Structure 1
Amino acid sequence: MVGWFEIPVTDMERAKAFYEVVLDITISVHQFGVFRMGWFPNDPEKSGATGSLVQHEMYKPSFTDGPLIYFSCTDVNIPLGRVEGAKGEIMQPKTQIGEGHGFMALIKDTEGNRIALHSQM
């Protein structure tokens, strides 16, 4: 069970713009001392964890290291169609995972992080 996630960024405004376009959401940015955080929206009526973009010298974006976060969506093709326009890269197109497990795609965000998209259709 995931309770919270943090995605490292080097440029908060660039990362915020990328995720807002691709996921069609609004991210609110907050300063906590030396930490700058961009909070993903939280809807208590929906299941799933929320999290934050985090800009701090200890947080290093990576395409190969660290956990892989999957964002759920209605159809992977919808946010996938917005990735390149938001200056990200499609690393793996929509791919069937296996019988009954839906579909996924792998993208690289503007900060160099690998992020996955998941849907049942």
Structure 2
Amino acid sequence: MTSKTIKKMKAAITWFEIPARDLSRARKFYESILDIEMVDMDTGSDLKMSMFPVEEGGISGALCEQEEAYTPSTDGCLLYMNANPDLQTVLDKVEPNGGSVIQTKTQITDDYGYMAIIKDSEGNRVALHSEH
């Protein structure tokens, strides 16, 4: 029998990208529901990106628009976005901003808080999580 060294990671996620058909519309959607301000990034190419705000050392990502490389989808990985302090406040903003609620606020456990699943303005399936 051999022993295997298991590599430990600081975080399983280091960066994420959410496809957008219309970057301006997607940016407005996420800024509105999460009450944040995103930052456009100059990529020097036809790739358009707008970055989610992040504290130093935190994990962030961006909305990305490039016809050949990014296609919004309800299939594939499910990304959980921070909806603290109260998920319901965020959910109440989804439909007025062009999205839809797929799964309403649901308690995971007392320790893990609440989750919901939405479809964003671009047609992506995205999950939301909060402690309350």
How high is the TM-score relative to the length of structure 1?
0.91
Q: Which has the higher strand share?
A: 1
2:33 match: secondary structure: helix
Q: Counterparts of 1:62 and 1:11 in 2: how far apart (Å)?
A: 14
In the TM superposition, what is the alpha-carbon distance from 1:49 to its structure 2 partner? 1.1
Matching residue of 1:105:
116
Q: Is 2:49 the counterpart of 1:37? A: yes
Matching residue of 2:27:
16
Identity of aligned residues (%): 43
Matching residue of 1:92:
103
Aligned length: 118
Read off the aligned partner of 1:8 and give its amino acid letter: P
Instruction: Give unpaired runs (5+ residues) of structure 1.
Output: none
Aligned pairs (5 A) from 1:14-93: 14-32=25-43, 33-44=45-56, 48-56=58-66, 57-64=68-75, 66-72=76-82, 73-93=84-104
Instruction: Give unpaired runs (5+ residues) of structure 2.
Output: 1-10
In the TM superposition, what is the alpha-carbon distance from 1:31 to its structure 2 partner? 3.4
Q: Counterparts of 1:119 and 1:67 in 2: how far apart (Å)?
A: 19
Deviations 1:2-36 (A, max 9, x none): 11110011100110000000000111222311210
Higher relative contact order (CA 8 A, sep 6+): 1
Q: CA RMSD in A?
A: 1.3
1:54 match: secondary structure: strand
Matching residue of 2:17:
6
Q: Is 2:125 the counterpart of 1:117? A: no
Read off the aligned partner of 1:77 and give its amino acid letter: Q
Deviations 1:18-76 (A, max 9, x none): 000000011122231121001111221xx641100001121111012x21111122111
In the TM superposition, what is the alpha-carbon distance from 1:99 to its structure 2 partner? 4.2
